[in-house]
Structure 1
Amino acid sequence: MRSRPALFESDLTRQRIATGAGTFDAIATGPVTGRKVLLLHGVPECGIEWRHQLRALAAHGYRAVAPDLRGYSPGVRPKQVDGYRLEHAVQDVREIADALGWKRFDLVGHDWGAVVAWIAAARYPLRIRTLTAVSAPHPGALAQALRTDPDQQRRWSFLDHLRTPGVAERELLADDAAQLRAGWPSTIAPERVNQYVRRLTEPGALTAALNWYRANPLTTETFRPVSVPTRFLWGEDDRVIGPEAAQTTAGWATGPYWFEVMPGVGHFVPEEAAEQTTLHLLDHLATY
């Protein structure tokens, strides 16, 4: 049974969502009778990265929930690397919606949360009304770029050190997590970075976050196209995802599709360009 939400940052509430995989921590806001929106965060953030969008959604009458994904929620933190395969995370989306009593909902995702959202939207088109993907392209487009595009291969190779168990954790947490902190752009407030770092220094949390990379090579998997109305936001200054993967994502969308390039914005779009992201999200939802 879900516990009673507690007040959090005045207009947001904490919520616990019990599923077959375990209990997810989440942030919720907006009228319970409003149109439902589920927001999936990226690595290495947590649900609070959507705080700007959550508040705007609530103000427009939506019921919005942003869970801390598996590994970030202590109640869903498998010890085995295989526990972080995308198939499990996609199943989490369905189980979270079931636990919330949502028959149909809009799905939003950033980074790895967007990868999960792409797959979930392809798998559950009768339940997911619209998809808003941020930063991460369709995994099929990314997988192809990783096989054939030297630029994307170079960008992805910078993440190779994250896949070495134990070594990556020690390096990232050394000197008060200096290397970990350096991963966020200066546009994100230090107090927010401190909040993320505190979460990642919980026992097992950083290993869980890194296991998303270790469990999902992407290039060996088969993906389906997405048919639901989709809007994809990509920062032109993204150092992880190159233009090839971003541009070829259109070939993986068989329904209405909008691709927005955001100049001067890097990988952490929901926070680097919070207002723009929110406006795009609201416009997409209002359109469908």
Structure 2
Amino acid sequence: MDTTHIYNGPIGLETRHAGPADGDVVILLHGFPECWSTWRHQIPVLADAGYRVFVPNMRGYGHSSKPADVSDYHVDELIKDVDAIRRFAGVEKVHLVGHDWGAMVAWWFALNKPEQLASLSILNVPHPSVFLGTLRKSPIQMLKSWYVFYFQIPRLPELTLPFNKFFFFRDILKRTSNKGSYSDEDFRELQKHWRIPGAMRAMVNYYRSAMRSQPKSKKGDQIKTPTQILWGEHDLALTLDMARDSEKFLENGSLTTYPDATHWLAHDKPDEVSERLLEHFSAHPA
């Protein structure tokens, strides 16, 4: 696996890549508070199957650029980073996979640039319209999303999150994933990323931007791209009903649930996720 910087104008994206140069292109997007290593189990499997795999540290993470303005983390800007990777790869269509914030960006890319996708795979994040609607109407979901509101406080999250060697992050990942899903090596890699100057503010700015300026698609809410939603049922942050409601927005899609998995599905069920991705890509070649 090699690393390069791919540029969207002044925004540099630290990107791991693997697989043959002539393979169909797969882009894997991580979420909060992780990094490229979310996909450490899937990368070699996809590359060995003949896919050309790109795995960025999303803007604000790792050694990717960390713009100062909150508005720079709006999903309208984030999908431009994905398109920059597609253009770097020199292809018309890609297979796009996202988890957590990466999934939200993937949803938004599919809504706005469907002509550039061969397939879409979403892990444990509902369609944007479902998430926003549920957050407004459901007191239970508001409680589950308490951290979103905490992150709106100026400067305080950046000061408190690093406390006690990033205990907040380590505790959440351990408590809300299956036992053994995160190794000591995983935490060492994550802490290396969390310690990078400016990382905390950039990571929190995703949530600040989302609350200050909610996205609106000019092309409607329906997803035309062949889409699969993979969902760990023991997600303590997002309800299973949100996954089921998201199916209504898919013109050509499916939902697969995992009763004994959590929000961190790629870690809990690495082999099953890899298998489902390969099946989906094969059914919808680029």
TM-score if structure 2 supplies the norm length? 0.91
- Listed one character per residue, the Cα deviations across residues 27-54 of structure 1 (whole Å, up to 9, x for unaligned) are 1111010111111111111112111111
Aligned partners of 1:73, 1:103: CA distance in 2, in Å?
28
Q: Which amino acid aligns with 1:51?
A: R
The runs of at least 4 consecutive aligned structure 1 residues that moved more than 4 Å come to none
CA-CA distance at 1:75 after TM superposition? 4.2
Matches of 1:125 and 1:218, distance apart in 2: 26
CA displacement, residues 59-78 of structure 1 (integer Å, 9 cap, x when unaligned): 11111111111101534211
Superposed, 1:20-31 pairs within 5 Å as 20-31=9-20
Specify whether residues 260 and 219 from structure 1 end up closer, same or farther in structure 2 by C-alpha distance, changes over 3 A only.
farther
Whether 2:208 is the aligned partner of 1:227: answer no
CA-to-partner distance for each residue in 1:166-203, whole Å, 9 max, x for gaps?
21122221112222211212421122112111111111
Please list the CA deviations of residues 195-235 of structure 1 after superposition, one character each: whole Å capped at 9, or x if unmatched. 11111111101111111111102994434321010000111
Partner of residue 208, structure 2: 214
User: Using the alignment, how far apart are the partners of 2:184 and 2:143 within structure 1?
Assistant: 29
Quote the residue 1:178 is aligned against.
167
Contact 2:62 2:196 in 1 (8 A): no
AA at the equivalent of 2:37: I
| SS of 2:26 mapped into structure 1 | strand
Instruction: Determine which structure has greater relative contact order: mean sequence separation of CA pairs < 8 Å that are 6+ residues apart, divided by chain length.
Output: 2
Alignment of 1:255-274 (within 5 A): 256-274=252-270
2:242 to 240, 245, 254: 245
Paired with 1:169 and 1:190, the residues of 2 have a C-alpha distance of 24
Give the 3-state SS of the residue equivalent to 1:45 in structure 2. coil
d(CA) in 2 for partners of 1:211 and 1:125?
26
Q: How many residues align?
A: 276
The whole-number CA distance in structure 2 between the counterparts of 1:234 and 1:219 is 27
Q: Which residue of 2 aligns with 1:40?
A: 29
Alpha carbon RMSD of aligned pairs, Å?
A: 1.6
| SS of 1:94 mapped into structure 2 | helix
Equivalent residue number for residue 156 of structure 1? 145
- Give the match for residue 9 of structure 1: none
Q: 1:1-288 alignment to 2 at 5 Å?
A: 12-185=1-174, 186=179, 187-217=181-211, 220-223=214-217, 224-254=221-251, 256-288=252-284
- The residue identity in structure 2 corresponding to 1:201 is R
Q: Report % sequence identity.
A: 29
Question: Within 1, Cα distance between the matches of 2:7 and 2:89?
Answer: 9
- In structure 1, what is the Cα distance between the partners aligned to 2:147 and 2:190? 21
Q: Secondary structure at the match of 1:79?
A: coil
**Unmatched tracts of structure 1, length 5 or more:** 1-11
Scaled by the length of structure 1, the TM-score of the pair is 0.91
**Residue 70 of structure 1: SS of its match in structure 2?**
coil
Contact 1:24 / 1:73 at 8 angstroms: preserved in 2?
no
Residue range with higher mean Cα deviation, 158-167 or 130-139 = 158-167
Paired residue type of 1:192: D
Aligned equivalents of 1:84, 1:245: Cα separation in 2: 24
1:74/1:165 CA distance change after superposition, 3 Å? farther
Question: In 2 relative to 1, CA 116–135 (structure 1 residues): closer, same or farther, beyond 3 Å?
Answer: same
**Equivalent in the alignment of 1:3:** none
